[in-house]
Amino acid sequence: SAVISQKPSRDICQRGTSLTIQCQVDSQVTMMFWYRQQPGQSLTLIATANQGSEATYESGFVIDKFPISRPNLTFSTLTVSNMSPEDSSIYLCSVERTENTEAFFGQGTRLTVV
Amino acid sequence: AQTVTQSQPEMSVQEAETVTLSCTYDTSESNYYLFWYKQPPSRQMILVIRQEAYKQQNATENRFSVNFQKAAKSFSLKISDSQLGDTAMYFCAFRKGDMRFGAGTRLTVKP
């Protein structure tokens, strides 16, 4: 397994501002992922955070809105930029140790935009 | 693209009884992984059980077992001796490269 620390656990933000979410893993991992979970819904992959290169974004998500950093093999950040109430969601960081096996998740960040 | 379908938005079960959650998926791949995750109100996604598609034997983890029917592309989760702590959202997931999640089933265990 993996121990994943995600911060902050929750935040209430003003529209138009930005929030950066941090994800720290207890050991080096190859793959890190960011998901969004809108209220009452399933998880949607935002992007794959690649160490040493730009993140790979899924359809419907763009770097200007969700910039991601991956400075090393144990840490990543996701920024939600120029927030609107529609960005109110749970954001989850996920890692996997071996390609194509189970993913382990942080405890999530509950974001509310007012 | 792979899709995962959970046709039961909500289910309930009496404590100590058995419940089965359904999941079907669509793929043209032959080798892949399937998972069930549990998400209690704490929001933490917890891996319940995993199944490799190349294994015919159904995975079992204590009170949790799966019925994996590869030809039918079906992957149901059986929870035996249900406990109050099993109350949560349950997500079925498919992995071949990216992980794709179903819409989830909200399970309530009643005392």
Quick: pLDDT tens for B40-95: 988 889 999 999 999 989 999 999 999 999 999 999 999 999 999 999 999 999 99
Contact B82, B18 (CB under 8 A): yes
Over residues A13-33, the pLDDT tens digits come to 999 999 999 999 999 988 899
Please give the structure tokens belonging to residue B29.
Answer: 């791949």
Percentage of residues of chain A with pLDDT beyond 90: 79
Look at residue A100 in the predicted model and tell me its pLDDT.
65
Q: Which residue of A has its CA nearest to B102?
A: A42
Rounded CA-CA distance B47/B52 in Å is 14
- A7: pLDDT strictly greater than 70: yes
Residue A98: pLDDT band with limits 50, 70, 90: confident
Look at residue A36 in the predicted model and tell me its pLDDT.
97
Contact B106, B19 (CB under 8 A): no
The type of residue at A85 is P
Pick the residue with more confidence: A102 or A14? A14
Cross-chain CB nearest to A43 (options B33, B44, B101): B101
Across-strand partners of A11?
A111
Over residues A49-73, the pLDDT tens digits come to 988 788 999 999 999 999 999 999 9
Rounded CA-CA distance B93/A6 in Å is 22
Average pLDDT, integer, range A31-38 = 93
Pick the residue with more confidence: A102 or A20? A20
Mutation for B interface: A1, A43, A104, most B CBs within 10 A: A43
Tell me: cis bond preceding A8? Omega within 30 of 0 counts: yes
Across-strand partners of A19?
A80
Is the torsion defined by CA of B1, B26, A41, B62 positive or negative? negative
- CA nearest A24: which of A37, A40, A10, A8? A8
Average pLDDT, integer, range B12-29 = 96
* Maximum pairwise Cα distance, chain A: 39
Most confident of A103-107, B2-6, B7-11: B7-11
Task: Please list, residue by residue across A69-79, b when 16 or more beta carbons sit within 10 angstroms of its beta carbon and e when fewer do.
Answer: ebeeebbbbbe
CB contact under 8 A, B91 and A42: yes
CB contact under 8 A, B43 and A107: yes
| Residue found under tokens 């035996």 | B80
Residue B24: pLDDT band with limits 50, 70, 90: very high
